[in-house]
Amino acid sequence: SENRVIMDEAAIRRALTRIAHEILEKNKGIEGCMLVGIVSRGVHLAQRLAERLEDIEGVTVPWGELDVTPYRDDRESAEGTAAAGDQLKGLEVQGKKVILVDDVLFTGRTIRAAMDAIMDCGRPESIQLAVLADRGHRELPIRPDYVGKNVPTSREEEIEVLLQERDETDVVRLTQK
Protein backbone atom coordinates (compact mmCIF):
# COMPACT_ATOMS: atom_id res chain seq x y z
CA SER A 1 0.00 0.00 0.00
CA GLU A 2 2.69 2.50 -0.97
CA ASN A 3 1.66 6.10 -1.79
CA ARG A 4 -2.00 5.84 -0.91
CA VAL A 5 -3.89 9.05 -1.75
CA ILE A 6 -5.50 10.46 1.41
CA MET A 7 -6.85 13.70 -0.06
CA ASP A 8 -7.06 14.71 -3.69
CA GLU A 9 -7.37 18.27 -4.98
CA ALA A 10 -11.14 18.39 -4.44
CA ALA A 11 -10.87 16.95 -0.93
CA ILE A 12 -8.25 19.56 0.05
CA ARG A 13 -10.40 22.34 -1.40
CA ARG A 14 -13.50 21.14 0.48
CA ALA A 15 -11.61 20.66 3.74
CA LEU A 16 -10.28 24.23 3.61
CA THR A 17 -13.75 25.59 2.84
CA ARG A 18 -15.18 23.62 5.79
CA ILE A 19 -12.40 24.84 8.10
CA ALA A 20 -13.07 28.45 7.03
CA HIS A 21 -16.71 28.01 8.06
CA GLU A 22 -15.71 26.34 11.34
CA ILE A 23 -13.38 29.27 12.12
CA LEU A 24 -16.24 31.72 11.51
CA GLU A 25 -18.64 29.66 13.63
CA LYS A 26 -16.26 29.25 16.57
CA ASN A 27 -15.22 32.91 16.57
CA LYS A 28 -18.68 34.31 15.67
CA GLY A 29 -17.18 35.99 12.62
CA ILE A 30 -13.62 36.96 11.81
CA GLU A 31 -13.30 40.16 13.87
CA GLY A 32 -10.08 40.16 15.91
CA CYS A 33 -8.72 37.01 14.23
CA MET A 34 -5.42 36.64 12.41
CA LEU A 35 -3.90 33.65 10.63
CA VAL A 36 -0.26 32.62 11.03
CA GLY A 37 1.06 29.99 8.62
CA ILE A 38 4.00 27.86 9.72
CA VAL A 39 6.84 27.74 7.18
CA SER A 40 6.76 26.26 4.72
CA ARG A 41 3.51 24.68 3.53
CA GLY A 42 1.44 26.11 6.37
CA VAL A 43 1.97 29.52 4.78
CA HIS A 44 0.14 28.54 1.59
CA LEU A 45 -2.69 27.01 3.61
CA ALA A 46 -3.00 30.17 5.72
CA GLN A 47 -3.17 32.28 2.57
CA ARG A 48 -5.85 30.01 1.08
CA LEU A 49 -7.88 30.15 4.29
CA ALA A 50 -7.57 33.94 4.40
CA GLU A 51 -8.85 34.12 0.81
CA ARG A 52 -11.82 31.87 1.63
CA LEU A 53 -12.67 33.82 4.76
CA GLU A 54 -12.56 37.03 2.73
CA ASP A 55 -14.84 35.50 0.07
CA ILE A 56 -17.36 34.44 2.72
CA GLU A 57 -17.28 37.49 5.01
CA GLY A 58 -16.27 40.25 2.61
CA VAL A 59 -13.59 41.61 4.92
CA THR A 60 -9.79 41.44 4.82
CA VAL A 61 -8.25 38.87 7.15
CA PRO A 62 -4.74 39.64 8.39
CA TRP A 63 -2.31 36.77 7.90
CA GLY A 64 1.40 36.26 8.28
CA GLU A 65 4.07 33.59 8.27
CA LEU A 66 6.34 32.17 10.92
CA ASP A 67 9.50 30.04 10.78
CA VAL A 68 9.78 28.50 14.25
CA THR A 69 13.26 27.01 13.82
CA PRO A 70 14.84 29.37 16.42
CA TYR A 71 12.17 28.37 18.96
CA ARG A 72 12.56 24.59 18.63
CA ASP A 73 13.86 22.70 21.67
CA ASP A 74 15.46 19.97 19.60
CA ARG A 75 17.48 21.92 17.03
CA GLU A 76 20.53 24.13 16.93
CA SER A 77 19.23 27.68 16.97
CA ALA A 78 19.06 28.76 13.35
CA GLU A 79 21.41 31.60 12.50
CA GLY A 80 19.81 33.94 10.02
CA THR A 81 16.19 33.28 10.97
CA ALA A 82 14.57 36.51 12.15
CA ALA A 83 12.84 36.88 15.52
CA ALA A 84 9.11 36.22 15.43
CA GLY A 85 8.20 39.91 15.75
CA ASP A 86 10.18 40.75 12.61
CA GLN A 87 8.81 37.76 10.72
CA LEU A 88 5.23 38.90 11.38
CA LYS A 89 6.08 42.22 9.68
CA GLY A 90 4.13 44.53 11.99
CA LEU A 91 1.09 42.25 12.42
CA GLU A 92 -0.20 42.97 15.93
CA VAL A 93 -0.61 39.86 18.14
CA GLN A 94 -1.71 41.68 21.30
CA GLY A 95 -5.35 40.91 22.14
CA LYS A 96 -5.87 38.96 18.91
CA LYS A 97 -7.25 35.49 18.29
CA VAL A 98 -4.24 33.93 16.60
CA ILE A 99 -5.01 30.94 14.39
CA LEU A 100 -1.89 28.90 13.65
CA VAL A 101 -2.01 26.98 10.37
CA ASP A 102 0.19 24.03 9.42
CA ASP A 103 0.11 21.16 6.97
CA VAL A 104 0.76 18.19 9.29
CA LEU A 105 0.50 17.85 13.08
CA PHE A 106 2.76 15.14 14.54
CA THR A 107 4.49 15.35 17.96
CA GLY A 108 3.25 18.90 18.62
CA ARG A 109 6.76 20.32 19.08
CA THR A 110 6.47 22.72 16.13
CA ILE A 111 3.22 24.14 17.51
CA ARG A 112 4.67 24.44 21.01
CA ALA A 113 7.53 26.44 19.48
CA ALA A 114 5.05 28.54 17.46
CA MET A 115 3.09 29.38 20.64
CA ASP A 116 6.36 30.42 22.29
CA ALA A 117 7.20 32.63 19.31
CA ILE A 118 3.73 34.23 19.29
CA MET A 119 3.88 34.93 23.04
CA ASP A 120 7.21 36.69 22.41
CA CYS A 121 5.31 39.24 20.32
CA GLY A 122 2.51 40.04 22.75
CA ARG A 123 -0.38 38.54 24.67
CA PRO A 124 -2.97 37.09 22.30
CA GLU A 125 -6.58 36.68 23.47
CA SER A 126 -6.34 33.05 22.35
CA ILE A 127 -4.33 30.74 20.13
CA GLN A 128 -6.09 28.20 17.94
CA LEU A 129 -4.71 25.57 15.59
CA ALA A 130 -5.76 24.48 12.11
CA VAL A 131 -4.00 21.60 10.32
CA LEU A 132 -4.62 19.88 7.02
CA ALA A 133 -3.68 16.45 8.44
CA ASP A 134 -3.24 15.08 11.96
CA ARG A 135 -1.04 11.95 11.88
CA GLY A 136 -1.08 11.35 15.64
CA HIS A 137 1.95 10.46 17.86
CA ARG A 138 1.68 13.55 20.06
CA GLU A 139 4.45 14.08 22.64
CA LEU A 140 2.87 17.20 24.16
CA PRO A 141 -0.68 18.09 25.34
CA ILE A 142 -1.58 19.85 22.08
CA ARG A 143 -4.66 19.26 19.94
CA PRO A 144 -5.96 20.97 16.81
CA ASP A 145 -9.17 23.02 16.78
CA TYR A 146 -9.67 22.48 13.04
CA VAL A 147 -8.59 19.33 11.16
CA GLY A 148 -8.74 18.62 7.43
CA LYS A 149 -8.32 14.90 7.98
CA ASN A 150 -7.30 12.62 10.83
CA VAL A 151 -4.76 10.14 9.45
CA PRO A 152 -3.72 7.51 11.99
CA THR A 153 -0.18 6.51 11.01
CA SER A 154 2.37 3.96 12.12
CA ARG A 155 5.88 5.13 13.00
CA GLU A 156 7.02 3.84 9.60
CA GLU A 157 4.57 6.01 7.70
CA GLU A 158 4.78 9.64 6.69
CA ILE A 159 2.36 12.01 5.05
CA GLU A 160 3.37 13.66 1.80
CA VAL A 161 1.69 17.03 1.27
CA LEU A 162 1.99 18.61 -2.16
CA LEU A 163 0.52 22.06 -2.76
CA GLN A 164 0.02 23.88 -6.07
CA GLU A 165 2.03 26.93 -4.97
CA ARG A 166 5.25 24.90 -4.50
CA ASP A 167 4.64 21.52 -6.05
CA GLU A 168 2.35 22.26 -9.01
CA THR A 169 -0.27 19.84 -7.71
CA ASP A 170 -2.59 19.45 -4.70
CA VAL A 171 -2.48 16.04 -3.03
CA VAL A 172 -1.98 14.40 0.38
CA ARG A 173 -0.52 10.89 0.31
CA LEU A 174 0.49 8.28 2.86
CA THR A 175 4.02 7.01 2.21
CA GLN A 176 6.39 4.48 3.77
CA LYS A 177 9.58 5.99 5.23
Q: Please pick, from the candidates 22, 51, 116, 158, the single residue that binds ligand 5GP as defined by CB under 6 A.
A: 158
- Return the number of the residue (44 or 52) whose C-beta is nearest ligand 5GP: 44
Residue 30 or 66 having the CB closest to ligand 5GP = 66
Among the listed residues 97, 106, 124, 129, the single contact to ligand 5GP using CB under 6 A = 106
**Residue 108 contacts ligand 5GP per CB under 6 A:** yes
Q: Which of 16, 98, 159, 163 binds ligand 5GP (CB under 6 A)?
A: 159
Three-class HEC string of the chain: CCCEEEECHHHHHHHHHHHHHHHHHHCCCCCCEEEEEECCHHHHHHHHHHHHHHHHHCCCCCEEEECCHHHCCCCCCCCCCCCHHHHCCCCCCCCCEEEEEEEEECCCHHHHHHHHHHHHHCCCCEEEEEEEEECCCCCCCCCCCEEEEECCCCCCEEEEEECHHHHCCCEEEEEEC
Find the part of the chain contacting ligand 5GP (CB under 6 A) among 2-10, 27-35, 45-53, 157-165.
157-165
Q: By rule CB under 6 A, what count of residues binds ligand 5GP?
A: 15
Tell me the window of 55-63, 85-93, 103-111, 115-123 that interacts with ligand 5GP (CB under 6 A): 103-111
- Per-residue x/- marks for ligand 5GP, 10-49, CB under 6 A? ----------------------------x-----------
Rounded Cα–Cα distance for residues 45 and 55 (Å): 15
Q: Residue 22: count other Cβ atoms within 10 Å of its Cβ.
A: 14
Binding residues for ligand 5GP (CB under 6 A): 38, 102-110, 135, 158-161
